[in-house]
Structures are given as structure tokens and as C-alpha cells.
Structure 1
Amino acid sequence: MRHFLLLYEYGSDFEVRRAEVREQHLSRAWAASARGELMLAGALAPPVDTGVLLFRADDAATAEDFARSDPYVTNGLVKAWRVREWMTAVGDEAASPAGKPSDTKEKDHE
């Protein structure tokens, strides 16, 4: 599985309008999380002008499909979005682990 970042650029009225559709947006996000597709999501702050959603999938279509039908997008709260593959290399969930040290215990240097 690979990692994809869905990046939202919020409109200037996002914070004022998001209450209108936030429950629908969160319901879809939690459903995607339950399916194992959406790993983390939230807004960058302050200011609240960008959203970042981390997907784990075989291809970008999972994140793209989410965006196209997300109430934040369909109701105009997001003025632009894009999906970028994230080439994860470090961490237990990395798609392509690189340079991981061996699991041997470190020696004391006294």
C-alpha cells in the first residue's frame, strides 16, 4: 500500500460555513477510516486555511474519489484540492521503509 495526501485549500469563509456540512463530512471521513483508507485528517491552524487528509491505498483514486464527493468540496467550502503521493520511508507504516537500523540492542558507552 502507498500513501497519498489530499490537500484542501479552504475558502475565506470556511470557518463560518463549515458547520452547515461538518457532520456529513466527518461521517464520510470516519467511514473511510473504518475501511482502512483514511489514516489521519484535520485542518492546519492557525490560520485554518488548509486541510490535510492522509490516505493509504493502492492508487490516488481513493483520495480523489473522496474529494470529489466530500460535502466540503461539493458545497464550495474547498476552493481547490490536489492529491500527492507521499513517499514514506520511515516509521512502522512506511510504504517503502529505508535504512532501518537493526533491532540489536545499543551498547552502553561509559
Structure 2
Amino acid sequence: MPYYALTYITAENFVERRMPYREQHLLLAQQYHDNQILLAGGSMQPAIESLLIFHCENEDVVKSFMRQDPYVQNGLVKAWYIREWNIVIGDKFIKKEK
């Protein structure tokens, strides 16, 4: 199963503006973390981007997450891109498929 990196480029004043939507966003991310998101987080000072690593069947899973994400729905993400991710080092921390 492939890996995908979802990068969000966040809007100005993201940290302040996200507060009304943060709980919903984290709940959604936790639901996907149970099966598809391996890691997720944002850059610090400046908080201008976020990175989420998915392990899923295809890019449609990532797009489904984005469509539901209140940060996207409420204009807190000004740009995004999805790239298939190739793990070169660090796979010992990832559960192996059987």
C-alpha cells in the first residue's frame, strides 16, 4: 500500500483563526489516524504549513479527508498538494503489512 504526503499551506494568522475549528479538525484527523494517517503536524514559528503522512490505498482517501476538513472548508488552507511518498529511512517504525 502506498504512502502519500499532504501538505497544507496555511492562511495568514492561521494559529488564531483555527481555534473555532480546531476540535473538529483534530477529531477528523484522529478518525483517519486509526486507519490511514501515520503522522500529522505543523511547522512552528512561522506556522505556515502542515504535513500529514497517509498510508492508504490511493489518493482519493487523502482527498476525502480534505473535503471534510474544517480548515479547508473555512478558508484556513490557501494551497495544498498531495505527493506519493517514498520511505527510504525510518520504515522500522511502521507496522509491516502481512
Q: Return the TM-score normalized by structure 2.
A: 0.88
**Residue segments in structure 2 that go unaligned for 5+ positions in a row:** none
What are the equivalent positions in structure 2 for 1:44-83 lying under 5 Å apart? 44-83=43-82
Name the amino acid aligned to 1:22.
R
Q: CA RMSD in A?
A: 1.6
Deviates more, 1:64-73 or 1:86-95: 86-95
**Following the alignment from structure 1 to structure 2, what is the Cα–Cα distance between the partners of residues 69 and 79?**
16
Across the two proteins, how many residue pairs are aligned to each other? 94
> Comparing both structures, which one devotes a greater share of its residues to helix?
2
**Residue segments in structure 1 that go unaligned for 5+ positions in a row:** 96-110
Contact 1:4 1:84 in 2 (8 A): yes
Name the amino acid aligned to 2:59.
A
Alignment identity in percent? 36
Name the amino acid aligned to 1:13.
N
**Following the alignment from structure 1 to structure 2, what is the Cα–Cα distance between the partners of residues 60 and 94?**
20
Structure with the greater relative contact order (CA < 8 A, sep ≥ 6): 1 or 2? Answer: 2
Contact 1:88 1:94 in 2 (8 A): no
- 1:25 alignment counterpart: 25
- Work out which of the two has the higher radius of gyration on C-alpha atoms and give 1 or 2: 1
Q: Return the TM-score normalized by structure 1.
A: 0.79
| Counterpart secondary structure, 2:29 | helix
